[in-house]
Amino acid sequence: MLKLTSPFQLSSIPQPHSPPTLNALTNLCSILGPDPNDRGFVLFVEENDTLDDVNHVCHRNLETSIEATFQDGNCLIGVVLWGNSGAGVTIVCLNVDGYAEEVAAVL
């Protein structure tokens, strides 16, 4: 799993999946500024990540904390807010059979 706070970190995302991740980072930075630090981040889920892994990094149970979900290209997107100030996590997970199945099932 990759924790991202800046568009400059996109080089670690496989090219076909970077546009949805860039969209999520752009939205995050437009709300929280160019360096959100601990106020929020984008989480790119990798193939073998589990729901427990994501819950730990998000500091929330994904099954009960999702505020919104949608699809952007070939990626599932989920939003978890930590409060009412806009801080939280945007989760990006590929929508491909066998890819992080527990996480994709929740999204």
Residues 24-82: tens digit of each pLDDT: 877 776 666 655 555 788 899 999 999 999 999 988 899 999 988 999 988 999 988 87
DSSP state of 73: T
Residue 99 confidence (pLDDT) above 70 = yes
| Structural domains of the chain, count | 1
Cα–Cα distance, 106 to 104 (Å, whole number): 5
Residue 51 belongs to domain spanning: 2-106
